[in-house]
Structure 1
Amino acid sequence: SGWESHYKTEGDEEAAAEEDLESEDELTPFDMMIKISMISKRQNFSAKQILKLDQFKGQQGQKCFQGLMGHGSDYSFSEVLRVCAKLFSDVQFKMSHKKIMLFTNEDNPHGNDSVKACQASTKADDLRDIGIFFDLMHLKKHGGLFYRDIIIHFEESSKLQDLLQKVPLSRLKLKLNKDIVISVDIYNLVQKALKPPPIKLYRKTNEPVKTKYQTFNINTGSLLLPSDTKRSQIYGSHQIILEKEETEELKWFDEPALMPMVFKPLVMLKKHHYPRPSLFTYPEESLVNGSSTLFSALLIECLEKVVIALCRYTPCRNIPPYFVALVSQEEELDDQKIQVTTPGFQLVFLPFVPFTEKVMATPEQVDKMKAIVEKLCLTYRSDSFENPVLQQHFRNLESFTLYLMEPEQAVDLILPKVEEMNKILGSMVNEFKELVYSADYNPEGKITKRKRNNEYSEEELKTHISKGTLGNFTGPIMKEYWLKKQELLEVLTKHFQD
C-alpha cells in the first residue's frame, strides 16, 4: 500500500495496458513514461467515483488493486511529484491554492536509497517554490523518517501573524476612565463545534423555504404595518403601552465596551471557577492612535505586580454585561527567537454566586472521593475523544451523499467504561454510596416535589386586592390559597347566583 501500490513494473506493463483499455480512465504518454498509474482523472469527485474505491478494501481489495493498477518495489517518489506538478500545470483557470494530500502507511519508502530520497526532497522544494504545498495523512506511522524533509512548516510564521489573520469576534473600547479610551479586538480562540441548523425545504422543488410573519387585524382582517402595533404590559391594574423604540431601549443595558473596575491579586482567581472558555484581547491601532502603547504599558504593569483587572464586559447593546478578569499573558519565544505565545490579555469569564456555592460534605466523604479520583486518573488528550453527535451527523451525511442503505454507526468514545472502572475501584463505590446516601435511599423512586415557601396570609391578599396588584401573582400561588374544596364551591355558587 502507500505509493508502492501506484507503480507498475516492466513485467506487468502489457497486462496492465489491456486492463486500462477497458477502464474509463486511460493513461497519458507522460504517465506511461514514468510508470505512474492514476485511478481517476483530475476532476471533482462524485459519489460513483468514491464508491469505486470500495473495491480496494481489505486483503481481497489489495489483490484487486495490485492486479488492476500494478505494484513494484523500486519506485521513485519524485516521479509521483512530477505527475502532480503536471496535473496542476494543465489547469487553465486560476486557483486560490494548490495542495497535494499524501495518504500513506509507509514511513520510509526509499529505505537506504539516498539518491531517490534526495531527488524527492529536491522536487518537493521545486513545487513549494511555485506555490504547491503538501499535507501528510499518515495512516499508521508519523512520517518522521522520510516525510520530515518533504513536509516543511514555515519558520517565518509566528503566533502573532496567525492571530492577526483571524477575524475578530468584536472590536470594543477599553475605557480606563472617562477621558482615556483605547481600542481592542476580541478574538475567540476556542469554539465549540455544533451541527448546522436544519433548513426547511419545499417538497416539490426541494428549495429552501423562507418564513415570513405578517400581522392582521382580527376584526377586519386587514394587514397591519409595524408602526400600527404596540407592546403592552399589565402592571397591577394599569396597562402600560410601549412603542417599538421603547421596547428596544429596555434591552439596551450599556454601551458595548470593556470597562475595568478594580485590580485584584492573581491568586484570587481559582481554576475551578470556569463557566466557559476564555477570549483573547489584543490592541487595535487603526481606530485610536496610541492604543498599542497604552495597552503594552497596562500589560507590563499587570505582569510585574501579578494582578488581574476585573472588568464589566458588554459585547453588544442588547446583551447583558458579563464580569470578566483580564489575565496578563507574557510573550514567549523559542530557541530560534520565533514567537510561541502572543502577548495580550486572556479575557476570563467570572461565575456568579450560584455557580460557586459549596457542596456540604463531611471529611470522610471528601477523602473517599479523592481516593476514587486518584484510582481513575488517566493521561488526557483532547484529540482522543470525538464528539459522538457530530461524528454520527457526518456519517449520516456520507450515507446520504453516497446513496448507502444505512449509515455507519459512530463509536461513542466518551461513554464511561463501567466494567473496567468497577474492576479498578472494587468496593470503593459502594463505600462512597454508604457515606453519602441514607439507608432507605432508592435511586429509581419517585422524586417528591418541594413545597413552596411563599405563602400569603389573608390580610396580605386583601391588601393586594385593594391596591389592584393581585394580577402580579402567578397561577400556582393563587391555587395554593384556594386549595379547599368547600371554598371553591362557595365561590362558584356565589358567581352563578349573581
Structure 2
Amino acid sequence: MSDWSGAWGGGDWRDEEEDEDEQQAGPGYSATKDCLILLIDVSLGMFVKDEETKGIPFELCIKCARSVLLNKVISSEKDLVGVVFFGTNKENNPSDFKHVYILQDLDMPDAPRIKELETMLEDEGFQTFEKDYGHSNDFSLSDVFWTCSTMLSTSGAKSSHRRILLFTNNDHPHQSNPALQRQAKTKAKDLAENGIEVELMHIGSGFNVTSFYQEIVFSDDGDGTSFPDPSEKFEELLTRVRSKELKKRALQRITFSLGPDLELGVGVYCMVRETKKPSFIRLDKRTNEELKTQTKKLCEDTGSILLPTDIKYYQVLGAGGEKVIFEEEEIKELKNFGKPGFTLMGFRPKSKMKMHHYIKPANFIYPDETTVSGSTKLFSVLLRRCISREVVAVCKYIPRNNSPPIFVALVPQEEELDDSNIQISPPGFHVIFLPFSEDIRSLDLPDEMPKASHEQIDKAKEIIKKLSFNFQSESFENPVIQKHYRVLEALALEHEEEEEITDLTVPDAAQINKRAGKAIDEFMKAVFPDGFDPEAKITKRKASTSTAAAGAAKKAKTDEPVDVESIAKNGTLGKLTNPVLKEYLKSVGKKAAGRKQDLIDAINEHLGL
C-alpha cells in the first residue's frame, strides 16, 4: 500500500499531467518537422574573390550552412536539413542528373555533418574541392529543383514547412538557352503549387534579380517582385542564436461558458516560460545506445511485481497515524471538479487588479472556431465591451481533467498595429491567475519605520534618473544556458576550447561610474555616517550569557529519556522526532529505517498495538 503524501495530491500517477502544464498541445495536434534544403551554386564563379566584400562567395555559403546546422541542433533538433551542390562536374542524386551533387541528404543535424562543412572551410578543403566535386556551368536548374522536390517528398517526415535556400552569384544561369529557362520556370511553379518555398540568397551588389530569378522565386502573396536586402539575410543566417525554438500552438482548446447554454471556444496560449537546461539522457556505456526507462512497483515483503489492481493509496489522518484507504477510482473522483474550461463569475473594474496578487506568468486566450462555431464574433463583442467599460472578467478556470479550479482575471488587450499596418499585439484576453485567501500573507511590520529625509530622497531620484534605460528581456541571454550549449558544442565537434560568451547580466561598473558616479557618492554621504565602509567585514555578535545558558538547558532537556511505550499506548507517537523513534527501535533489536510513518508502524507492531 502506497503513502498518498500530501492532501489530495502527490505521487507519480496523479501529478504526471502537472509537469506538462505549459507543454501539452491542444486536441488533434500532431508533431511536425520543418524541412530545409541549402542549395549552393558551386560553379567556378563562386570561388572568385568578390571585390566589394573581399570574400569568397562559396566560403560565405558554407559558413551560413554551418551556422544553420549549429542553430538547428539547439533550437529544433528534430527538423531536417540537407545540403545540395549544383554546378559540379560529378553527380550524386537518385535520378542521376548531371552536375547535381547531394552532399548531405535530408536528416537531423548532428556533429559529423557539421564537421564535414568545417573541413571545407579549411585551406585543404578548398584545394581539394575541384578534385572531389569539380566545376561546371552545364547544369539545368530544372533538374536541380527536381532533385530537391524528390528529397522533400521521400524524406518520410510529416513537415509543416518546406523551404529551399538558393545561394548563387549568377543572376542569369541559362542566358543562352531559352529551353532550360522555360523548364526551370515551369518546375519552380510546380514547387510553389506543392507548398515548397524557394528563397533566393543572391550574392554581390551587381546581381540583377529581374533578369531571371524574378520568375523563379515566389513570395507569399504570389508576387515575386519584392526581394529583401541580401546582406540582412546573410547576417541573420550567420548569427548564432542558441535558444530553444518552441512550437506556436495552443496549450488547450476549451470552452468559455458565459451563462446557461451560452458557450464559445477559445485557445489558451503560453506567453512566457522559464527556459532550463535540457535534461540528460541515459546511455548504455557499452553500446552508447539510449536506454529505455521502465518503472515497476515491488512488494516490500515478497519482492513480487505489483499490478495496478494490487495497489491502494492511503492518507494519514491526525497525529495518531490512522490510515484512510482510497481506491484509485475514488481519488480520481475526489479530484474531479468538472469539465475543463472557463466559467464566467462576473466583472470587476480594471483598477481593482493588484500587482502584489501576481502568482505566475499569464496565459493568453484567442477565439477558436474548431471548438464552437461562431466563437470569433461573440469573443470580439465581449472584448470590445470590456475595453470600453475598462473592466476585467473574473472566471473559474479548470485547465484539464482532474485539475483543481482556480480563479483568473481576463484582462482585455486591444489589437495594436504599426505604421505599416502590421500587427504588433493581437486582440484577446490575458489570463491573470488570482490567489486564494490562503495564498495571501499578512506581514507584521514594526509600527515605526526609519524615514528618509528629503535630501536623501532627492539624491536617490538622481541616481535612478541617470541609470534608467529601456529594459527588454530579449536583449539578455541566460549565461548559464549559453555556457552549457557552448561546452556541449565544443565536446561534440572536438574543439580544443569552447567559444567565449559575453555575460550581459554583469553590471558595467565603468559605465555606471561614468553616468552616476558623482550622484552615488553624494547619496552615500547623505545616507551613511562618516567613515562607513560597505566592504568591511561584519563581526558576528557574541551570544549573551543568558542566551548561552538557555541553549545549554535546551540541550539537557533533549537528553532526558523518553518513555516511548507509554506514548505509543496513548497513540501520540507522531509527536516524537525520527531520531528518538529510531533509537528506541535499535534498543529493542528492530530495523530502524524508512519514513516516520514506517517507524511508527514498526513500534506499534513490536508492542502489539
What is the aligned partner in structure 2 of residue 195 from structure 1? Answer: 277
Counterpart AA for 1:484: K
What is the aligned partner in structure 1 of residue 253 from structure 2? Answer: 171
**Using the alignment, how far apart are the partners of 2:540 and 2:254 within structure 1?**
48
CA contact (8 A) 1:102 1:134 kept: yes
Answering whether residue 268 of structure 2 is matched by residue 186 of structure 1, we say: yes
CA contact (8 A) 2:346 2:394 kept: yes
CA contact (8 A) 1:5 1:65 kept: no
Gaps of 5+ in 1: 13-24, 157-164, 449-479
> 89, 107, 110: which one pairs with 1:27?
89
What is the aligned partner in structure 2 of residue 22 from structure 1? Answer: none
CA contact (8 A) 1:284 1:291 kept: yes
CA contact (8 A) 1:263 1:307 kept: yes
What is the aligned partner in structure 2 of residue 387 from structure 1? Answer: 478
**Using the alignment, how far apart are the partners of 2:393 and 2:149 within structure 1?**
56
**Using the alignment, how far apart are the partners of 1:332 and 1:493 within structure 2?**
71
Counterpart AA for 1:284: D
Structure 1 pair 423–250 and aligned structure 2 pair: CA distance change class (3 A): farther
Structure 1 pair 426–341 and aligned structure 2 pair: CA distance change class (3 A): closer
Deviation at 1:423, TM superposition (A): 2.7
Deviation at 1:231, TM superposition (A): 1.4
What is the aligned partner in structure 2 of residue 484 from structure 1? Answer: 554
What is the aligned partner in structure 2 of residue 375 from structure 1? Answer: 466
Deviation at 1:398, TM superposition (A): 3.0
Answering whether residue 44 of structure 2 is matched by residue 8 of structure 1, we say: yes
**Using the alignment, how far apart are the partners of 1:83 and 1:356 within structure 2?**
75
What is the aligned partner in structure 2 of residue 235 from structure 1? Answer: 318
TM-score normalised by length of structure 2: 0.53
**Using the alignment, how far apart are the partners of 2:201 and 2:537 within structure 1?**
49
CA contact (8 A) 1:279 1:348 kept: yes
Q: Which runs of structure 2 are paired with 1:258-297 in the superposition (5 Å)?
A: 258-269=342-353, 276-288=360-372, 291-297=375-381
**Using the alignment, how far apart are the partners of 1:136 and 1:102 within structure 2?**
5
Gaps of 5+ in 2: 1-38, 49-86, 223-246, 542-549, 566-609
**Using the alignment, how far apart are the partners of 1:11 and 1:172 within structure 2?**
57
Counterpart AA for 2:269: Y
What is the aligned partner in structure 2 of residue 402 from structure 1? Answer: 493
Aligned residue for 2:145, secondary structure, equals: helix
Deviation at 1:233, TM superposition (A): 0.8
| Number of positions where the alignment pairs a residue of Structure 1 with one of Structure 2 | 428
Answering whether residue 166 of structure 2 is matched by residue 88 of structure 1, we say: no
**Using the alignment, how far apart are the partners of 1:11 and 1:324 within structure 2?**
61
> 491, 505, 509: which one pairs with 1:418?
509
Aligned residue for 1:392, secondary structure, equals: helix
CA contact (8 A) 2:459 2:523 kept: yes
**Using the alignment, how far apart are the partners of 2:414 and 2:47 within structure 1?**
63
**Using the alignment, how far apart are the partners of 2:331 and 2:526 within structure 1?**
53
> 98, 115, 122: which one pairs with 1:51?
115
What is the aligned partner in structure 2 of residue 310 from structure 1? Answer: 394
Counterpart AA for 2:267: D
CA contact (8 A) 1:175 1:259 kept: yes
Deviation at 1:241, TM superposition (A): 1.2
Aligned residue for 1:347, secondary structure, equals: strand
Q: C-alpha offsets along residues 140-190 of structure 1, whole Å, 9 cap, x if unaligned? A: 99x99979979765249xxxxxxxx95321133323345544432212244
What is the aligned partner in structure 2 of residue 346 from structure 1? Answer: 430
Deviation at 1:239, TM superposition (A): 1.0
What is the aligned partner in structure 2 of residue 327 from structure 1? Answer: 411
Structure 1 pair 42–170 and aligned structure 2 pair: CA distance change class (3 A): closer
Structure 1 pair 138–367 and aligned structure 2 pair: CA distance change class (3 A): farther
Structure 1 pair 343–198 and aligned structure 2 pair: CA distance change class (3 A): same
Structure 1 pair 304–275 and aligned structure 2 pair: CA distance change class (3 A): same
> 124, 147, 163: which one pairs with 1:99?
163
Moved more, 282-291 or 433-442: 433-442
CA contact (8 A) 1:100 1:133 kept: yes
Deviation at 1:301, TM superposition (A): 1.6
**Using the alignment, how far apart are the partners of 1:93 and 1:289 within structure 2?**
35
CA contact (8 A) 1:278 1:347 kept: yes
**Using the alignment, how far apart are the partners of 1:247 and 1:354 within structure 2?**
30
Q: CA RMSD in A?
A: 5.8
Counterpart AA for 2:432: V
TM-score normalised by length of structure 1: 0.62
CA contact (8 A) 1:309 1:325 kept: yes
Q: C-alpha offsets along residues 331-358 of structure 1, whole Å, 9 cap, x if unaligned? A: 4678898876543322234576569999
Deviation at 1:243, TM superposition (A): 0.7
Structure 1 pair 311–90 and aligned structure 2 pair: CA distance change class (3 A): closer
Structure 1 pair 355–340 and aligned structure 2 pair: CA distance change class (3 A): farther
Structure 1 pair 63–91 and aligned structure 2 pair: CA distance change class (3 A): closer
CA contact (8 A) 1:9 1:71 kept: no
**Using the alignment, how far apart are the partners of 2:451 and 2:341 within structure 1?**
41
CA contact (8 A) 2:383 2:412 kept: yes
CA contact (8 A) 1:310 1:325 kept: yes
Q: Which runs of structure 2 are paired with 1:61-76 in the superposition (5 Å)?
A: none
Q: C-alpha offsets along residues 312-342 of structure 1, whole Å, 9 cap, x if unaligned? A: 3332355454443212234467889887654
**Using the alignment, how far apart are the partners of 1:387 and 1:356 within structure 2?**
33
Moved more, 362-371 or 200-209: 362-371
CA contact (8 A) 1:56 1:64 kept: no
Structure 1 pair 129–340 and aligned structure 2 pair: CA distance change class (3 A): farther
What is the aligned partner in structure 1 of residue 82 from structure 2? Answer: none
Counterpart AA for 1:412: D
**Using the alignment, how far apart are the partners of 1:145 and 1:435 within structure 2?**
67
> 130, 142, 154: which one pairs with 2:220?
154
Counterpart AA for 1:492: P
Give % identity.
Answer: 32
Counterpart AA for 1:398: E
Structure 1 pair 402–311 and aligned structure 2 pair: CA distance change class (3 A): same
Aligned residue for 1:101, secondary structure, equals: strand
CA contact (8 A) 1:6 1:37 kept: no
